Chains A and B, each alone.
Chain A
Amino acid sequence: MAAYIIRRLVWTVPVVLLVIFMTFMLMKQIEGNPFRKSERAVPAAVQMNLERKFSLDRPWYVQYANYVKGVATGDLGPSLVLRDRTVNDVVAEQFPRSIELGLLAFGWAVLLGVPAGVLAALKPNSRFDYGAMLFSNVGFALPNFLVATLLIYFVSVKWGLLPTSGWTTWQHKILPSFTLGLVPMAYFARLVRGTMLETLQQDYVRTARAKGLRRRRIVTVHVLRNSLIPVVTAAAPLLGYIITGSFIVENIFAVPGIGRYYVTAVSARDYSVVMGLTVLLSIIVIVANLVVDILYTVLDPRTREART
């Protein structure tokens, strides 16, 4: 067990280095001048001063070495475009908002998706089951920009119930997080229903039932607990979805997170910000995978041997 964890941890280092290297090389391939922000041509002197200031006049391996050194010490460098701020500033101010958005979306999913799945499994092929599964399918399929546009139009513009955009009060946070939470919600509903149905067929549940245990007790004590393991393990891949979805949702709802700025930073050639955010997102995903795998091993001892 400990050996497994250590092995996983050790493997994380080269992977992170590789991701940094790949992102770095990718960035170097992008043409375009971060210092030309409009039609106006940049005079040679200005260009030179800027390149010197941001060390872009050094060979690429020096830049890479400096960058890795920076990441190791937690310094992601200055932004090339947001001249008053460093990448650390951008991350420190805007990343928590994205995390909050993601967690709230996840919250919607747990709050609505899990009970829907449980109830659907308890009464399979009922109307409720069909309804929940239909919703789940539609939730998967509708592009979130359409959902966002419709929600804003009806809830905010037409009925005036919630603000259209922004990220200040709790009212502002309902629509963006719900939109982003729709797919995880649909996913949880389906996942929980599937695992519940499977668990209900297991021998020990039948035994428990045969022993005359009350159905509610069986469900809450045995079935639900075992069915929730997949929900824990689904958190990691969902993270990838939530990051992807946040790009769109932050754009439409003017949420000042990093997903929105990422797109801007790529087109503005703000190399250091793009690098910083990509590396950060990758590290988060890598760490999340690690945590989930370890959790999974703890929760479900059977998998220990299978995962070498």
Chain B
Amino acid sequence: MSAVQIAGRIAGVDAGAPIRQSSLWQDAWRRYVRNRGAVAAGAVFLVILAWCLVAPLVSPHDPNEVDFTNAYQGPSWSHPFGTDQFGRDLFTRAALGGRISIGIGFGATLAILGIGVVYGSVSGFVGGKLDNGLMRFLDALYGLPYLPFAILALAIIGTVNFWTMVVALSIASWFITARVVRGQIITLKENDYVRAAKAVGVRWYAVLGRHLLPNTLGVLVITIFLELPGVILGEAFLSFLGLGINPPDASWGSMAQDGRDAYRAHPHIIIIPSLAIATLVLCANFIADGLRDALDPRTKET
């Protein structure tokens, strides 16, 4: 999933010129707020985040308390999302599940960025034979499905928790990010100010750290929101295949899996977490679009 989306949409950014640093972020902000879809998506995204953070704190229900007399209730005033088979309040649990899903999402995305930035900047910065080798390797693996490797990784680690999920989801998902970073670095490397810096004897790590990496920041921010949907859906897929994290914790994916068996009698248990996933993914996509248009106006669609 992530591969697909990024492959298409990053194309413009990939070849793009470096993003100017000066008032870049102010300009970008101005352009972003003009995009109504992106602003709305950002707002919904923040609302979801706030709900995940705050709801469990203020909720009158203990998310893990088992009370069979309350099981399988549909949505009501005291339980806006209903209850599950243990009588646990799904409004609170979905918020907690959101923390885990979003947390794993950001965790894995950052891991992907980390690996991608190292790989891409080494490749792009050093260049030559090394670059050629690293890139041929990426060419071959481009589009490799992450799921088999994620399943293998989870099987190796054995117990599934937050961090193993992050590892599993990032282990085979960083190829595209690496390629994008490399593209940026190579383009930037040819810039006059970088050449100048080199000419006056600035050390390579200073060039890389002070001039090149900061200028890829815009692209990286876009990449976060491009990767996020794929990672969140990936976590949901793994949970759905029964490889989710340990109870009583739950992510949206594992909550949806819990709900599938009972979907005929109690559809809310699968629908609520699934819609939460869908909403979040939708928002992330819109935000990514908005960010791309804002940070890299040349590729703006008509």
Q: Do chains A and B touch in the complex (CB under 8 A)?
A: yes
Which A residues contact B (CB, under 8 angstroms)? 7-8, 11-12, 15, 18-19, 23, 26-27, 29-32, 124, 137-138, 140-143, 145-146, 149, 153, 183-184, 187, 190-191, 194, 197-198, 201, 230, 234, 236-241, 243-245, 247-248, 251, 262-263, 266-267, 274, 277-278, 281-282, 285-286, 288-290, 293, 308
Report B279 CB to chain A, min CB distance, Å: 7
For A32, the closest partner residue in chain B by CB is B155
Main secondary structure of the interface of A (DSSP, over half): helix
Of B140, B145, B153, B286, the contact of A281 (CB 8 Å cutoff) = B145
Range for the number of chain B residues in contact with chain A = 35 or more
* Chain A residues positioned under 8 Å from B271 (CB to CB): 146
Quick check: A247 and B147 within 8 Å, CB to CB?
A: yes
Of B7, B148, B237, B278, the contact of A141 (CB 8 Å cutoff) = B278
Quick check: B281 and A187 within 8 Å, CB to CB?
A: no
B5 within 8 A of A: yes
B163 within 8 A of A: no
Quick check: A187 and B156 within 8 Å, CB to CB?
A: no
Quick check: B143 and A237 within 8 Å, CB to CB?
A: yes
* Chain B residues positioned under 8 Å from A7 (CB to CB): 136
Quick check: B302 and A244 within 8 Å, CB to CB?
A: no
* Chain B residues positioned under 8 Å from A141 (CB to CB): 229, 277-279, 281-282, 285
Quick check: A140 and B5 within 8 Å, CB to CB?
A: yes
Given contacts A141-B281, A237-B4, A289-B139, contact A278 B240 (CB under 8 A): no
* Chain A residues positioned under 8 Å from B148 (CB to CB): 243, 262, 277-278, 281
Q: Which of A7, A138, A201, A237 has the most CB of B within 10 A?
A: A237
The CA-CA distance from A148 to B172 in the complex, in Å, is: 26
B3 within 8 A of A: yes
Interface 1/0 per residue, B47-91 and A, CB below 8 Å: 000000000000000000000000000000000000000000000
Quick check: A236 and B143 within 8 Å, CB to CB?
A: yes
The CA-CA distance from A32 to B274 in the complex, in Å, is: 33
For A124, the closest partner residue in chain B by CB is B302
Of A19, A234, A248, A274, the contact of B4 (CB 8 Å cutoff) = A234
